Amino acid sequence: MDKLIVTAAITGAELNKKICPALPITPEEQAIAARDCIEAGAAIIHLHVRDEKGNPSQKLEDFQASVNAIKKSCKTNPIIQFSTGGAVGEKMENRIASLSLKPEMASFNLGTMNFGEEIFVNTFADMRALAAAFKKYNVIPEFEIYDAGHIDNLKKLIKEGLVTAPYHCQFVLGVPGAMAGDISGLVYLVEHLPQDSTWGVAGVGRFELPLAVHAILMGGNVRVGLEDNIYYEKGKLASSNAELVSRIVRIAKEVGRDIASPEEAKKLLNLP
């Protein structure tokens, strides 16, 4: 098996410090969180940013401030993956705009869905516009797949010639309104990926740990972090993002799966 690529989703757009006191919000807090995650074994930082009031932001200056702070704090250069998902309800033009900063990677959401009580909108027109921006700025997408039909949406974009191999797919499972985090669902998704795909799994809430453990054994990659899951175990909040990363790294090493450094992850994902 290839080495395991661990992604840390450190902040997200739907949480705040009242719900999760350990959530890094400012560039300085994100820099510390990212450094600790990288030192614990993460290769990719999935990045959402906030404005000065702590609200979700897609502004270029907020992305730039966080990137600068993270790069300064990390000894090894992590892969910084921007979110183009943003917060539910964010305008598509703002979500796309961050690509002009040319991050090494960014998320690419593959369909409209219920997201808790809200609706996360990603129409085909949105996806086509997003695909054009990824091409224009030469950014590598990570395809976010929340439901089985999203794989078919990816195949449609491939057929239309809008995205090209290799495809790095992230199964985000357990969002209320989309596919649950059952292992049978994960197996189904892996079996239906397009050729030339790598994959990872981000289990939401209580699904994070079991899905991660299965992905380690199945040859996939893993995303953990407070964006997806704020608990270390039932009833006990995680004290930091790095605590969640460290557990996954420990488990992977115990079962003989080595951990990819950021440089190794770049090679595995064909990043420039």
Which two three-digit tokens encode residue 85? 């998902």
Q: 119-124 long-range CB contacts below 8 Å, 24 or more apart?
A: 119/88, 120/85, 120/88, 121/92, 124/153, 124/156
The DSSP secondary-structure symbol of 199 reads E
Nearest Cα to Cα of residue 27 among 52, 46, 45, 44: 52
With a CB cutoff of 8 Å and minimum separation 6, the contacts of 72 are 31
Indicate the residue among 115 and 199 with the shorter CB distance to ligand KMH: 115
Site mask for ligand KMH (CB under 6 A), range 122-161, x = bound: ----------------------x-----------------
In whole angstroms, the minimum distance from the beta carbon of 31 to Zn ion comes to 18
CA–CA separation, 36 vs 168, rounded Å? 25
Please state the closest distance from residue 219 (CB atom) to ligand KMH, in A: 24
As beta bridge partners, residue 56 has 50
Task: Kindly state the smallest distance separating residue 247's Cβ from Zn ion, in Å.
Answer: 20
Per rule CB under 6 A, count of chain residues that contact ligand KMH: 13
Provide the mask over 14-33, with x wherever binding to ligand KMH is found by CB under 6 A and - wherever it is not. x-------------------
Q: Pick from ligand KMH, Zn ion, none: which does 81 bind, CB < 5 to 8 A by kind? A: none
From 48, 42, 46, 41, select the one nearest 12 (Cα to Cα): 48
- The reply to whether 120 sits near ligand KMH by the rule CB under 6 A is yes
Contact stretch for ligand KMH (CB under 6 A) within 35-43, 59-67, 81-89, 130-138: 81-89
H or E, element range at 9: strand 6-9
Tokens found for residue 137: 């700025």
216 binds, among ligand KMH, Zn ion, none (CB under 5 to 8 A by kind): none
Please identify which residue in 30, 58, 73, 83 interacts with ligand KMH, judged by CB under 6 A. Answer: 83
Considering only CA atoms, which of 65, 60, 140 is closest in space to residue 106?
Answer: 140
Tell me 101's DSSP state.
G
80 scored as a contact of ligand KMH (CB under 6 A): no
Residue 62 as a binder of ligand KMH (CB under 6 A): the answer is: no
Cβ distance to ligand KMH smaller for residue 198 or 257: 198
Binding residue for ligand KMH (CB under 6 A) from 34, 37, 65, 115? 115
Residues engaged in binding ligand KMH (CB under 6 A): 12-14, 83-85, 87-88, 107, 109, 115, 120, 144
